[in-house]
Amino acid sequence: MAKIGWIGLGNMGIPMSQNLVKAGHEVFVWNRTKSKADGVVAVGAKWVDTPKAAAEAGDFVFTMVADGPTLHAVSLEKDGLVAGLSSGKIIVDMSTVSVEDSAKINKEVEAKGCKFLRAPVTGSTMMAASAALGILASGDREAYEKALSVFQCLGARHFYLGGGEEARVMKLSLNLMIATTMQMQAEAVVMAEKAGLNVAQVCEIIANSAVGSPLTGYKKVPISTGDYKPAFSVKLMIKDLKLAEEVGAQYGVKLESTSLTRNRLELASEKGYGEMDFSVLTKLLEEESKYTR
């Protein structure tokens, strides 16, 4: 069993780190809000006071944070994880951040004689709890092979994509499809509702149709009930779509549906829905269409 430092205990980080503890690993956790560690400590993890301490304690050091600036803070500040590194450790970032931010962290990690894996995940909080995530990895191949036994405690599907930033691009490619799917579903649902169809039945049919997917299955309950408790917030999706648009611009690829969906999410945020689940796009269109359930 491995010694693992874990930094970041949000909606995904909590169940993922719990799964590592349950698998028998020795896990050392840190989060900016200490109370969020209570559920992980309760199953056997050990609290540490800084990201530096988490890095000192672990042979593997995982980060799962909200964005690039946060990754920089937990990695590069005085008590950040880089300050706690000694040669031979493997750092695994599972956040969704830009290629540029990722490359900067990689440079600092390698300067300490360590390896940096980019390993963002695909899947829901439910999949995180059941260790059924997909893990998209790139970076040093030997480090990936060493980390694979740990990845198997977190996800059911593992993909090695290359030696550099490939996993970052793949994650953003997936997220732009996820976001635009919710915009398409919003349009389909509201048109059907206004024609007199039952929203729950509409969502059920979509989920079981030719366009059905795990995503449309997950979202049929929040959309049909109007309960947009955040599994993945509007604000986080806006962040990811902006990153995707940057990559598209870098490679000269027009991402027109991505830009449209980002604009819709920004409008939702302006209306006060920024902390709701991004499937709130349906509610936004209902309001604009003067439809009341």
- DSSP track, the chain: --EEEEE--STTHHHHHHHHHHTT-EEEEE-SSGGGGHHHHHTT-EE-SSHHHHHHH-SEEEE--SSHHHHHHHHHSTTSGGGG--TT-EEEE-S---HHHHHHHHHHHHHTT-EEEE--EES-HHHHHTT-EEEEEBS-HHHHHHHHHHHTTTEEEEEE--SSSHHHHHHHHHHHHHHHHHHHHHHHHHHHHHTT--HHHHHHHHHTSTT--HHHHHHHHHHHHT----SSBHHHHHHHHHHHHHHHHHHT---HHHHHHHHHHHHHIIIIITTSBGGGHHHHHHHHTT---
List, for residues 76-119, the tens digit of each pLDDT value.
999 999 999 999 999 999 999 999 999 999 999 999 999 999 99
Identify the band that residue 168 occupies on the pLDDT scale cut at 50, 70 and 90.
very high
Identify the band that residue 183 occupies on the pLDDT scale cut at 50, 70 and 90.
very high
**Quick one: pLDDT at residue 60?**
98
**Quick one: pLDDT at residue 236?**
96
**Quick one: pLDDT at residue 91?**
98
Taking residues 34-40, report their average pLDDT: 97
List, for residues 39-60, the tens digit of each pLDDT value.
999 999 999 999 999 999 999 9
**Quick one: pLDDT at residue 111?**
98
- What is the set of active-site residues? 171
List, for residues 110-134, the tens digit of each pLDDT value.
999 999 999 999 998 889 999 999 9
List, for residues 133-163, the tens digit of each pLDDT value.
999 999 999 999 999 999 999 999 999 999 9
What percentage of the chain reaches a pLDDT higher than 90?
A: 99
